[in-house]
Amino acid sequence: MVSISDVEAAIAEKGTMIDRELEKFLPRKKGDSLYEAVWYHMATGGKRIRPALALMACEAVGGDSRKAVPWAAACELLHNWLLVHDDIEDSDEVRRNQPTVWKKYGVPHAINVGDLMSQKVFQLVLDSKSSKVDDRITMQLLSLMAETAIRTAEGQAMDISMRGREPSEKEYMEMVTGKTAYYLTAPIIGGALIGGAGRKDMERIIEFGRYAGPAFQITDDVLDLTEGKGRGEIGRDIKEGKRSIMAIHCLSRCTPGEKRSILEILDKRPEDTTADDVRFVKAMFERYRSVEYSSKKAEELMAKAKHAIKPLPDDLRGLLEMFADYLISRKR
Amino acid sequence: MVSISDVEAAIAEKGTMIDRELEKFLPRKKGDSLYEAVWYHMATGGKRIRPALALMACEAVGGDSRKAVPWAAACELLHNWLLVHDDIEDSDEVRRNQPTVWKKYGVPHAINVGDLMSQKVFQLVLDSKSSKVDDRITMQLLSLMAETAIRTAEGQAMDISMRGREPSEKEYMEMVTGKTAYYLTAPIIGGALIGGAGRKDMERIIEFGRYAGPAFQITDDVLDLTEGKGRGEIGRDIKEGKRSIMAIHCLSRCTPGEKRSILEILDKRPEDTTADDVRFVKAMFERYRSVEYSSKKAEELMAKAKHAIKPLPDDLRGLLEMFADYLISRKR
């Protein structure tokens, strides 16, 4: 049985290899507002869980994980690129308890920093050549990478468009599936591909992602309200007017008067939303058991995710089951 | 002898092919703030000169230009992606006499729209498979695309960092070479590569770009002051505090008092810069013959660019010479 401590061991053991691969394409330059900013962001505490999963997936299907190092590093960079741009899009000033890139370097630099990272992602995938991945697989990895980022952008567009509206749970699920399904599992899919997994197995991992991704996002939204997400406060999503599943659930059940009050708060600019506003919305979510509903929904989705991977070979299935448990039980 | 009317003919003849290729990956969806925004931007009057050059370069070395259609479309999209993000970075509200994407859809959507485009670029290059480009060449095209975008981002970072400072002409040239050399010639390099050009010829085109790119940018900066660049006004660069070669030349020659006044205007926020401010700086540029100096510099650079391609086969050289003349003589 794989456990989270195995992932931690993999991060400890192989983190250096990943960082060295990243440094090959992202030189550490001091006093340079481009590469310095990339490393500023990368250093604000990323857990490197994605690359560890990529390497472990490669091993789980019997492959040599060293071959998956460029892919693993590319996945870490994809993740960080999207965070840099997300923080601008969400006006988030704090990430992992540090000022976000745009807050520190300004919006123009932050957009450009993200753009650089998005291209370095492809240089990294192309570098799979140097670890003897054959060209046919590398082309598939490149497609997978582009596809992942595209689906994430499509989900993100829906997410942004939803603010200021009152979407249905169906719309929410469509948005969140787009935004997370590929994004969450791409490291594992690519790692397994490099390790020699077959098409059938890949499809099962994609199916897993279709449930595990939304489960992860819902858990994340609940965490924002209970523990905070390293953004320096609790209830940041309320300030941003995010249409989380809790908001959608509560809005569909509360009285018309309550609905007016909640929407008024959600639609205020983040800087105008007071602590009392946040407390009020949180109390509403609790009154209508929206937090409970959401946690239960996340658990149901994760059960479906686990069901989808039942036919996978033991080692790969074990890795994904462990990942599923980690996603739903983590505290931040 | 190739002339600009040949390029126009190529655009007229092959523009539909390019648009069809783009539509294959960018469905035209109404009422969708993602794909609709992409097409809103693409339709604001792009001249499609880049894809035409890509196809013509392929033909110039004896290749079948149909093979270069995905590459050509990818180049057009790269160009447009960077414009979408540039407009946010520069706070430009008008592009080709229409509201820019961020102005129409908001900054969060505009960042996300650009990110989507940046990934569709790679899907398009990967689609070279469907036009029977072999995998080895496709991998080179993918590298070239990433390299081009990376160098552009590096130049852009220098450009943003220069504002608020007084850079030397040497620094300016380094910035502008980074920002434009690859960017300008990538369509031609890729087209020639698909057509079967050898490594030596490629290097000569890169050398051409190293001079033609800066010549193009300098001409563009002069145009901003004389004709405007479709951004709804003349002298927009002054409002943005851009360290153009004219600004650098003038600052190194004017009196300390004039310098203080010029820098004060350049460093004002665009929205606080008055028409009188712009007129004052423009008059300074004229007094110190900075406009003349810059035009002459552009011509010298273009002469060097043409010299670099002397050894190229006739058809390819003819195409690049025509392109050089076009870049330096265009009015907007």
Q: A118 and B116: CB-CB below 8 Å? A: no
Query: What confidence score (pLDDT) does residue B86 get?
Result: 95
Domain parsing of chain A, residue ranges: 4-329
pLDDT of A89 higher than 90: yes
Structural element, H or E, at residue A94: strand A94-95
Per the CB < 8 A criterion, the answer to whether B288 and B249 are in contact is yes
Residues of chain B contacting residue A32, judged by C-beta atoms under 8 Å apart:
157
User: Which residue of B86, B115, B120 is the best one to mutate when testing the A interface, meaning the one whose CB has the most A CBs within 10 A?
Assistant: B115
The pLDDT tens digits for B10-40 are: 788 888 899 999 999 999 887 778 999 999 9
Measured CA to CA, the distance from residue A13 to residue B274 in angstroms comes to 59
| Contact A27/B at CB under 8 A | no
DSSP-based three-state secondary structure for B113: helix
pLDDT of B99 higher than 90: yes
Give the pLDDT band of residue A302 (cuts 50, 70, 90): very high
Mean pLDDT value of segment B242-251: 95
The pLDDT tens digits for A44-84 are: 756 788 999 999 999 999 999 999 999 999 999 999 999 99
Quote the tokens at residue A255: 């009285």
Q: H helices within B163-195, ranges in order?
A: 169-195
pLDDT of A4 higher than 80: no
Query: What confidence score (pLDDT) does residue B49 get?
Result: 86
Q: Nearest-5° angle of CA B160, CA B277, CA B237?
A: 30
Per the CB < 8 A criterion, the answer to whether B268 and B235 are in contact is no
For chain A, give the mean pLDDT.
Answer: 92
Query: What confidence score (pLDDT) does residue A279 get?
Result: 95
Quote the tokens at residue A221: 């939204």
Q: A111 and B111: CB-CB below 8 Å? A: yes
Per the CB < 8 A criterion, the answer to whether B97 and A97 are in contact is no
pLDDT of A332 higher than 60: no
Distances (CA, A) of A227 to A9, A218, A235, A249: 26, 14, 9, 20
Distances (CA, A) of B69 to A139, A159, B64: 19, 34, 10
To the nearest whole angstrom, how far is the Cα of A86 from the nearest Cα of chain B? 8
Query: What confidence score (pLDDT) does residue B5 get?
Result: 83
Handedness of CA B326, B329, B331, B332 (dihedral sign): positive
B4-329 maps to CATH 3.10.20.30 = no
| Contact B130/A at CB under 8 A | no
The pLDDT tens digits for B158-217 are: 999 988 788 999 999 999 999 999 999 999 999 999 999 998 999 999 999 999 999 999
Measured CA to CA, the distance from residue A299 to residue A127 in angstroms comes to 38
Quote the tokens at residue A61: 């299907």
To the nearest whole angstrom, how far is the Cα of A32 from the nearest Cα of chain B? 9
Residues of chain A contacting residue B145, judged by C-beta atoms under 8 Å apart:
122
For chain B, give the mean pLDDT.
Answer: 92
To the nearest whole angstrom, how far is the Cα of B307 from the nearest Cα of chain A? 32
Dihedral, CA of residue A205, residue A209, residue A215 and residue A219, to nearest 10: 100
The pLDDT tens digits for A123-138 are: 999 999 999 999 999 9
Quote the tokens at residue B2: 């190739």
Distances (CA, A) of A238 to A95, A242, A268, B2: 17, 6, 10, 61
DSSP-based three-state secondary structure for B197: coil
pLDDT of B127 higher than 70: yes
A-proximal residues of B, 194-213, CB under 8 Å: none
Percentage of chain A beyond pLDDT 90 is: 77
Chain B residue with minimum CA distance to A128: B139
Residues of chain B contacting residue A90, judged by C-beta atoms under 8 Å apart:
108
Quote the tokens at residue B114: 């650009």
Lowest mean pLDDT among A31-40, A245-254, B257-266, B297-306: A31-40
To the nearest whole angstrom, how far is the Cα of B314 from the nearest Cα of chain A? 34
Q: Least CB-CB distance to B153: which of A115, A126, A143?
A: A115
Measured CA to CA, the distance from residue B148 to residue A256 in angstroms comes to 55
Q: Least CB-CB distance to A153: which of B34, B82, B89?
A: B34
Per the CB < 8 A criterion, the answer to whether B13 and B330 are in contact is no
Reported pTM: 0.92
